[in-house]
Amino acid sequence: VAFNQAVSNKEGYRIFYISTASDNCGFIRHPSTPVLRQIKVPTTTLKHVLNEHRGIPILIKIDTEGHEIEVLEGIERILEEREDVYLIVEYNPLCLQQAGHEPEELPKRLSALGYDLYLIDDIARDCSRTYTVEEGWYSPKGMDYANLYCVKKSRSLNLAFFSHSAGFAGAERCLLELVTELVQDYGAICTVYLPSDGPLVEELKRAGAVTIVGNYHWWCAIAPMPIEYFHQIFDRSFHWLFKELPNLKKINPDVIISNTLTVPWGAIAAKLLNRPHLWYIHEFGELDHRLKFYQPFPEVVRFISASSNQIVACSRAVRDYLSGLVGSQNIQTIYCYIDIPEKALRANGSSCFVYPDSTRLVIAGYVDESKGQRDAIMAVIELVKYRNRNVELTIVGDSRPEYYEKLKRIVEIAGVSDRIHFLPFQRNVFPIVQSADIVLTCSRNEAFGRVTLEAMLLRKTVIGTNAGGTLELIHDGETGLIYEPGNYLQLAEKIECLIDYPELRLRLAENAYRFAKSSFTRENYGGRFYNLLLDLKYAGNPSGTEVWRMMESLSRSILEVSQ
């Protein structure tokens, strides 16, 4: 509803100047536009609007050509009392001067009302802190006007994330969901660094984040690498980080977050800027992905512990494993939240199932020995060739070429190519899972089990391995079934049981759905992270000189950097 009213600091009458440019009309003679005529108008304040809408967040955009301070004066007391009023205020120095105000009076007033101020840069498409009591007012040169995004200091968060990838695997999806929640539900400012371009960049932009593509690398590799290779990528990454530091300082984040243990650059940036650092870990490292680090893995975990105010693990299994390596109690578990939009389910997805009456199995994820696709293949061979069961299996995901070829040969030699189908990575895997009867999670050591949780939310029965984070999702006989990893005959028996007892399959699926919906909520994910990050906001960086010493052992570059 639009109200044709003039807003000021009190009820009464004021002269309103109508200019040749409609967007320059207001209570002052605009310095950039000639005045056509002036009229006398009644004025009001925004008190009645704010008083009528209590208990819900409100966004007020104030663009009044130099009259912004008067509009704020009309609601000062309410703004001091309320924590859920967000502001976007135009800052126009010339108009403020024309109205008889010093330009710095506006940011000072906003800060005094308890707001953190962020400058919205329309060209760079970013948001940076503009005013602090300690450092005063930051104003870019050549700025005629700009918009200030204002959030109460008690709830504002300015965050910088470092991602290891711009792809769309599990850790990246968790990052996207976290950023989406923090922006949409809590008004956080989120800047995300990524090492390359990729599909995650556009998704983060849609979520409301600022994205910066950098030139940094992992401090580990999937296969063993020569020491010279590590020195080379460390040199390149350090060079990029120090070149980027002035921009990161301008962003002025409250907390820096590293997403996965494969990149240390967020921790190093936090050390250099004396900012709190949180490490969000989605993997075991060596146990699941067989990552090869330059230093022994316990040394890597000790660095992670020493450089972080807080470590968050994706599951209790990961938490306990890391804690056992360093004896640290500064690790807590926060489970992710997964939103499955209706449009994702309505989308047309690829499917290889060809037999209309078959029991349809799906295993989704990176095709690698650690993910256990061989168990699923051998179980299907057993069921089709030796137990005369009408089953099909679809394997979805990118793969290591040598392992993929090995699996294909097993399928071809067994003569079940019509029963076992391979699909490449799918951006939207939900329609394929939706078409399945049973979802398999055969990982040797699954850090969490995102695919398992997605299947539960789609009311699919899941059979998983008795290992890792899978046990935190599948309670055997209640929310799914469990088998010993590598024991494909046991897996075949579990599948056969669900074929013979369809009512059990439906009951497990329904139990799993209720468990997933009640336990893995938006509030328990983004809400817990938000409160944790607020607690860290003024903490400072925890690491001392031991972090530099540890980095010396990781790369020769640190000597040049620290000097």
Alpha helices (H) in 113-154, listed in sequence order: none
β 126-132/136-137 pair status: antiparallel
Residue 420's beta-bridge partner residues? 393
Each residue's pLDDT tens digit in the chain (563 positions)? 888 999 999 999 999 999 998 888 999 998 888 999 999 999 999 998 888 888 888 999 999 999 999 999 999 999 999 999 999 999 998 899 999 999 889 999 999 999 999 888 777 777 776 655 555 555 655 567 889 999 999 999 999 999 999 998 889 999 999 999 999 999 899 999 999 999 999 999 999 999 999 999 998 888 777 777 778 888 889 899 999 999 898 888 999 999 999 999 999 999 999 999 999 999 998 888 888 887 788 888 989 999 999 999 999 999 999 999 887 778 999 999 998 877 777 766 556 788 989 999 999 988 988 899 999 999 999 999 999 999 999 999 888 888 999 999 999 999 999 999 999 888 888 888 988 999 999 999 899 989 999 999 999 999 999 999 999 999 999 999 999 999 999 999 999 999 999 999 999 999 999 999 999 999 999 999 999 999 999 888 887 666 766 666 655 444 444 44
| Beta bridge partner(s), residue 19 | 35
142's torsion region: left (phi>0), alpha (psi -120 to 50) or beta? Answer: left
- Phi, psi at residue 220, to the nearest 5°? -155, 175
Nearest to 152 by CA among 82, 62, 68, 255: 82
Name which of 274, 248, 163, 148 is nearest 536 in CA terms.
274
Max intra-chain CA distance, the chain? 93
- Please check whether residue 469 is in contact with residue 446, taking contact to mean a CB–CB distance below 8 angstroms: yes
Considering the entire predicted model, what is its pTM? 0.88
Helix then strand count (H, E) for the chain reads: 23, 24
Distance CA 433, CA 258 (A): 31
Distance (Å, whole) CA 169 – CA 417: 27
CB atoms within 10 A of CB 406: 13
Q: How far apart are CA 264 and CA 304, in angstroms?
A: 8
**313-348 pLDDT, tens per residue?**
999 999 999 999 887 778 999 999 998 877 777 766
Rounded to whole angstroms, how far apart are CA atoms 157 and 523?
A: 17
- Name residue 499's beta-bridge partners: none
Backbone angles phi, psi at 37, to 5 degrees: -160, 170
Query: Pick from 479, 463, 499: which is nearest to 375 by CA?
Result: 463
Q: What is the pLDDT of residue 229?
A: 78
HEC-encoded secondary structure of 481-498 = EEECCCCHHHHHHHHHHH
List Cβ<8 Å contacts ≥24 apart for 96-105.
Answer: 96/66, 96/68, 96/69, 97/66, 98/28, 98/29, 98/30, 98/31, 98/66, 99/27, 99/28, 99/66, 99/67, 99/69, 101/66, 101/69, 104/137, 105/69
Beta strands in 370-457 (DSSP E): 391-396, 420-423, 438-441
CA distance 393 to 367: 14
Sheet holding 12-19, edge to edge: 6-7, 35-44, 12-19
Sign of CA dihedral 290, 296, 299, 303: negative
The residue among 308, 260, 327 whose CA lies nearest residue 288 is 260
Distance CA 231, CA 217 (A): 11
